[in-house]
Amino acid sequence: MTGPRSFCYGQKKCLYLAGLFSVESPDWSAGGLLPAVHMAMDDINLRDDILPNHNLCLIWAETKGQTALGVRNFIRLLDEPPTKIALLGSSYSTVTAVIAELSPFYNMLQISFSSESSFLANRKSFPLLFRTAYSYSKYGEAYVALLNHFNWTRVAVIGRNSYTNYQDIYRVSSAIRKSGIEVKAIELFLAETPVFERLKRIKDLDVRIIIVISLEKDMLGLACAAYKLEMYGKKYVWIIPHWYEKKFWDKISQTSKCLPEHIYAVINHALSISVLYMNYEYIETITGMTPKEQERRYLNRPLIANKTYSPNGYWPFAYDAVWSIALALNNSRNQLESLNKTFEDFNYQQSEMRKIFYQNMESVQFLGISNNVSFDYNGDVDANIFDVRQYQGDDKVKIGTIRRRNIILVAEMETSIKWIDQKPPPSADIIVDRIQPLQTIILYIMIFLCSLGYAITFLSLSFIVKHYRTRTIALIATDCAILFGSIILYTSVILMGLNDEQTRSVTCMLLPWLNCYGFALVAGSILIKSLIVYRNVTSRWFTKEIGNLHVLAGLLSLLLLESAFLISWTSIDPLKSVRVSITSNLEDDEIIPYVKYRPVVLLCKCQFGTYWLIGTIGLNGIVLLFSAFIAYEARDVRLNNEIDVRNISTCIYNTILLGLIVIPLSFVIDRKNNELYMVIGGYVIFCTTLCQLILFLLKGRKSDDKIRPSVVKRNTSETT
């Protein structure tokens, strides 16, 4: 169970530290940390200014990375003499979490050198835990810096769903989301469960940047599934934990359906982020030596030199952890003396001494091998420098550094980085909108039809001019208003066909005004014309004759009402030119990789477009319905030398009927640019031209200056 004790120099008394190490763990061995611990104790024990009357000694036990074994040996370490004054370890976060909940019951400070889970960054749950290894909660900013450097805007995160690992996934994902980068998926899986379906969901979302936060053996299963799904190569980038060994794919089980070369195909060019384990600056640490000098000493330690243990990258954290305990205890001496206590008085019920040790551990600050060591509220050290490494062949090559610049972390890449396409892949295909232009032939046809409409309008105007002497001013005013409204409507059809993006933003603002004003002039004039006819054949509703001022007031009122509605629409929710995709199928660029083209059309849209459309239809529909009612009431009226009311009725009924067909159809073909233009433009041209033909050109007789109601004939016996 226990390992060797540190040597105690001279006549000094020993202060014993309990240690928990996963030396025999099949996944990750902490054996290479023991030489670093003994080296730190040797350096401290040789100092006369630190614990001058005591030597630090270590009694450690094996955990194998297993929680149950870790708890069992922790209790045994405390039950067996001598009394241990602090706990060093453990190696695995899962074991550390359980031990850190037990250690307060024994009033024992605990410091871990390799447990990085964000789950442990909780002072309420783990009140006596400190860590020289960097908490994974510190990695969120580093991931953001790396993603921003390569302009990766969408990622997926996948990892094992354990109570320690979940916090790492949650904190990293939250930091990425807060930065504005989209986390498309977070996939969690249980140990020893298939991951194929979870990776398939990520692939279906077309996510190419995949962050893995899980154990090394989990990554073997993920890489095997990724190989089967073809989630590797030039399009994909895997960002995996830094603690994986260089050639970990060789550990693939013989029962696996994948070979080591399959795992290698996925892992090659993968990235990893790690906090800089050792301060490489050429400055003296608390020992008076530089980190590089200390590294040479560590590599020459007997247990490392004779290859009993392999060098472990976490050794600077283990070294600094021992120094942190030593400095906290050393700073506690004066306070203990004031209480007439010594270190030998410590036992597992000494809460008063524990408080003193804790306060001094919180205030520890020194320049260690790993960093400038000082602890925050949760007992963690700050991380300011990160290494970025890339799997290249059988090696993990340093390709960059992430450093804190003022407040934020910024990535700085080196030329050693390699990509299959000589440049980093984008996080998604670059989607380029390809505006589908209106077919030229359709636009020309519509312009031709509108030109015919203009010609008919001028012919109608010549008809009015020719017969102006035989007509009332009121009727001439309504006829001119109809022609002016027709010109506006024809113009709106031409503007509707101008489909370039710059022009479209302007036409979207103009079209509602042109259509509403044009319709108001045409439909309003037809309504007034119907009322004039109806007034002259009956006095059921009107006692006074409709004069010129009444015509002008009626048209002006209708235009003011339309203006109030349009001003509200334009100021509250204006129409804007919007690109609307017409298909989910994207077209590949034949030359530029990662570029796809999306067919779009330009449509005029606003947030509450349906409600404004209903308002427009309702407002103008009232005019049409009232006109239809008047036309129905005067359906049998025939006037000498004047327009047949039935002709007016034909204009109104055709407009209503076509509107009932065209409006629903426009919603069905909303994204079909050519068809939509033909339907709406054709509807406007047809109705406008039909009204002119019926009201002016197809009536080949003159109008009298005065309407003679004596010729009005009813179906009933009543004659007016």
Q: Which residue has the higher pLDDT, 545 or 408?
A: 408
Lowest mean pLDDT among 7-11, 17-21, 124-128, 691-695: 7-11
Question: What percent of the chain shows pLDDT beyond 90?
Answer: 38
Q: Is the pLDDT of residue 627 over 80?
A: no
Structural domain boundaries in the chain: 13-133+290-312+314-379, 137-275, 451-711
Q: Is the pLDDT of residue 474 over 80?
A: no
Lowest mean pLDDT among 162-176, 231-245, 408-422: 408-422
Q: What is the pLDDT of residue 112?
A: 95
Angle at 118 between CA 117 and CA 123, to 5 degrees: 115
Q: Which residue has the higher pLDDT, 538 or 414?
A: 414
Where does the pLDDT of residue 267 fall: very low under 50, low under 70, confident under 90, or very high at 90 and above?
very high
Query: 137-275: same fold as 13-133+290-312+314-379?
Result: yes
Domain 13-133+290-312+314-379 fold? Rossmann fold (3.40.50)
Residues, the chain? 720
* Average pLDDT of span 422-443: 84
Angle at 318 between CA 312 and CA 322, to 5 degrees: 155
CB 557 within 8 Å of CB 488 = no
Q: What is the pLDDT of residue 5?
A: 43
Angle at 675 between CA 670 and CA 677, to 5 degrees: 85
Please provide the CATH number assigned to the domain covering 451-711. Answer: 1.20.1070.10
* Average pLDDT of span 331-346: 93
Distance CA 644, CA 634 (A): 10
Alpha helices in 393-472 (DSSP H): 440-466
Lowest mean pLDDT among 88-92, 247-251, 283-287, 473-477: 473-477
Q: What is the pLDDT of residue 543?
A: 52
Distance CA 675, CA 696 (A): 31
Q: Is the pLDDT of residue 586 over 80?
A: no
Alpha helices in 348-409 (DSSP H): 351-362
CATH for 137-275 (3.30.428.10, 3.40.50.2300, 3.40.630.10, 3.30.70.2190): 3.40.50.2300
Q: Which residue has the higher pLDDT, 429 or 318?
A: 318
Distance CA 18, CA 215 (A): 27
Q: Is the pLDDT of residue 336 over 60?
A: yes
Q: Is the pLDDT of residue 666 over 70?
A: no
Q: Which residue has the higher pLDDT, 129 or 680?
A: 129
What is the distance between the terminal CA atoms of the chain, rounded to a whole angstrom?
Answer: 122
Q: What is the pLDDT of residue 134?
A: 87
For 393-499, strand residue ranges (E) read 395-405, 408-413, 430-435
Where does the pLDDT of residue 699 fall: very low under 50, low under 70, confident under 90, or very high at 90 and above?
low
Q: What is the pTM of this model?
A: 0.62
* Average pLDDT of span 401-425: 81
Q: Is the pLDDT of residue 27 over 60?
A: yes
CA distances from 89 to 83, 86, 236, 315, 712 (A): 17, 10, 37, 13, 110
CB 62 within 8 Å of CB 24 = yes
What is the secondary structure of 548-614 as a DSSP string?
HHHHHHHHHHHHHHHHHHHHHHHHHS--EEEEEE--S--EEPSSSTTEEEEEEEEEEE-TTHHHHHH
* Average pLDDT of span 166-180: 91
